[in-house]
Structure 1
C-alpha cells in the first residue's frame, strides 16, 4: 500500500447522463478562437489557426453547484463550448481516426477574467490568471457518444433569460476531429482528457446573482448561478 506525506488529492470526476458511474478527468485542454465571428470580435485574424491552453482539472464545476464570482476581476466573461470527453489514448492521430477517441460530449462554459487576460496579453505574459482560476469551468452531464452521436446542431447561452451567444457547431473553423488531431500532435492524449472546443461570438460579462443557462443540441445543458 502506498503512503503519502500529505493526503492525496481527490480525483476530479464528472457525472454521466443515465449512469451512477463517474467520468474521471485527467487534463482539461481548451481551444482559443475556433469560431470566425468570435475571432473577429476578439480582434484576431480568422486565417490564424486556433491555439490551445489548459485549465486545471479541479477548476471544473459539476452540475448543480454555484460558481463564486472570482477575486481580482471586474470583468468576468462567459464562453459556452462543446466539450469532448476522450475515452482512448492517441498521439499524432489523423482527423479520420480522431472521433473514435471520443467517449462522450458535454456542454461547458469557459469562464474568463477578461481584464486579467487582456493585461497579460498586453505584457506578453501567460494567461493562467485569466483562464485557469478556481471554478472557471462549469460543465453539464457527459452524454456518451453512443447516445448522442457526434453533434452537429445549435449551441446557445443565455443570462437571466436573455440570449447572449447562439450559433451552429458547423460554424467552427476546426471541426472536433481536426481539433483532436492537432492536439494529439502537441501532446499524447489519454482517456480522461477533456477538450473545450471553442466559443461562438457574443461573449460578455457576468455579475453576482446572474443565472446562466447553456444548451447544445443533442448534447445537453449547463446551468449555474453566479454567487
Structure 2
C-alpha cells in the first residue's frame, strides 16, 4: 500500500492512496503510533480510515515524515561511486543528521543555497522505521516501508578549512526532496535487502543508474549501526547512500532552472526544479562565513 503525508484545506495528515496509479486518497484517522508498527507486515487492523475520499490533485504532497521524527543519512555505501573517486570500501559507514527544515516534497522547488557553488544530486532509497528495533534479529523487519530521496549536497563545503563540513553539505534549508509517498514493506519484498532499480535524470539525461542490491552495507547492517548509537523510533527516515554518476565525479553540478527527477522501481519518482540562488544581504556577508567567492 501507499501512504502519503498531505496537506489539504490548510491541514496536514496521513492518507492512504487508492489504486496503482493513485488519483484519490482516504484520510487515516488513527494516530500514527497505532498503525505504523504493524502496517509494514500488511496488517491493516489499526488503520482507521475516513469514509470520504479526496482527489489527490487537490492535495499537496508533503515529505512523508511524522512530526517529531528524525532524519538520518549514511554514506560510503556503493562501491562504484567510491571507486570513481579513488577510494575503497570502508570498514563501516558514515552517518549524519538532517534537520526537518532541509526537506521538501515531490514537486517542490529546491533552494539553491548561498553557501555553495557545487550543488550535487544523489538518488537514494529511504527507509521508514515502523517500530523500535529492540531484539529483532532482522532489523529491516521493523520498517514501515520505503520512499525515494534525493540527498542534494554542497560538495565544496569545508574545502576552505580542509575538513569535512557535513553541517553545510547535508543540512541546508529546502534542499532535500523526499517522497512522493511511502510504499509498505510487504509490497517491496518484506524484510531483508531490497533489489530495486534506481535512476536519476537531470534535464532528461540519465546521470545515475544502479540497483539497491549493490549496497556495500545492507539495510539490516545500516539500521543496526544507527540504532547502536541512537535508538531508532517509529517515523524516523534513513537515507541509505547513493551510487556513481554524481556531479562530484564529473564536475557537472546542478544549476538554477535544472529539472531533477529521482526514480526508484516500485515506489515512484520525485520531480523537482532547482530554484534561483539564495542571496544574503551585504550586511550579512561580514565575518568568516565560509561562502563561495562571488561570481
Kindly report which structure 2 residues correspond to 1:1-227, keeping only aligned pairs within 5 A, or say none.
Answer: 17-18=17-18, 19=25, 20-21=27-28, 23-25=65-67, 26-91=69-134, 93=135, 96-119=137-160, 122-123=162-163, 126-140=165-179, 141-150=181-190, 151-204=194-247, 205-227=253-275
Q: What is the CA-CA distance between 1:182 and the residue it aligns to?
A: 1.4
Moved over 2 A (4+): 12-23, 40-45, 117-120, 146-151
Alpha-carbon distance, 1:24 to partner = 0.6
**Counterparts of 2:76 and 2:15 in 1: how far apart (Å)?**
28
Runs of 5+ unmatched residues, structure 2? 1-11, 19-24, 29-63, 248-252, 276-295
* Residues 193 and 13 of structure 1, relative CA distance in 2, 3 Å threshold: farther
Q: Which whole-Å CA distance do the structure 1 matches of 2:207 and 2:13 have between them?
A: 29
TM-score by length of 2: 0.66
Q: Note closer, same or farther for the CA distance 1:42–1:15 as it changes in structure 2 (3 Å cut).
A: farther
Structure 1 unmatched runs, 5+? 1-11
SS of 1:128's partner is helix
Assess if the C-alpha contact under 8 Å between 1:27 and 1:56 holds in 2: yes
RMSD: 2.2
Alignment TM-score, normalising by the size of structure 1: 0.85
Pairs aligned (count): 212
SS at match of 2:73: strand
Identify the structure with bigger relative contact order (alpha carbons < 8 Å, sequence gap 6+): 1
Distance in 1 of aligned mates of 2:150 and 2:85? 17
SS in 1 for 2:156: helix
Separation (CA, whole Å) in 2 of partners of 1:57 and 1:135? 9
Task: Label 1:183 to 1:118 Cα distance change in 2 as closer, same or farther (>3 A).
Answer: same
